[in-house]
């Protein structure tokens, strides 16, 4: 178990290592031809990193079990919330500055097909 000072040091080190590995995973995935802009890919990567980072708090000796659980649940909630907030901001910014990605074009084509077939809207 770790005291508070050791916990801070381990936490900072783990965050640095996880961010470094995330960058390497993204670079490797791009070279392998995976779509790193896909929401599923980003969500898996983000939740995996969050789990690893939050795992550090379970080694703190001065932290109660209830506090550890709260840190874990709040950490995942904040991670998911920020993921969707950044995604929504990105879409809004792309729309504002007229920047279209392949995903945006594909989504627009799907909406057109739905509207033409009579399934979409009133």
Closest CA to 1 of 54, 63, 51: 63
- Report pLDDT for 88: 85
CA distance 20 to 22: 5
Closest CA to 95 of 109, 80, 105: 105
Please identify every stretch of the chain with a pLDDT value under 70, giving residue numbers as ranges. 119-122
The angle formed by the CA atoms of residues 93, 97 and 37, to the nearest 5 degrees, is 50
């Amino acid at each position: 178990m770790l005291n508070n000072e050791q916990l801070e040091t381990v936490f900072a080190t783990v965050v640095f290592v996880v961010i470094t590995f995330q960058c390497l995973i993204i670079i490797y995935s791009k070279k392998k031809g995976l779509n790193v802009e896909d929401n599923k890919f980003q969500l898996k990567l983000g939740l995996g990193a969050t789990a690893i980072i939050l795992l550090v708090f379970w080694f703190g000796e001065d932290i109660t079990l209830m506090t550890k659980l709260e840190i874990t649940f709040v950490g995942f909630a904040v991670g998911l919330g920020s993921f969707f907030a950044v995604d929504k901001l990105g879409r809004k910014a792309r729309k504002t500055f007229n920047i279209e990605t392949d995903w945006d074009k594909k989504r627009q084509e799907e909406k057109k097909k739905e509207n033409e077939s009579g399934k979409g809207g009133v």
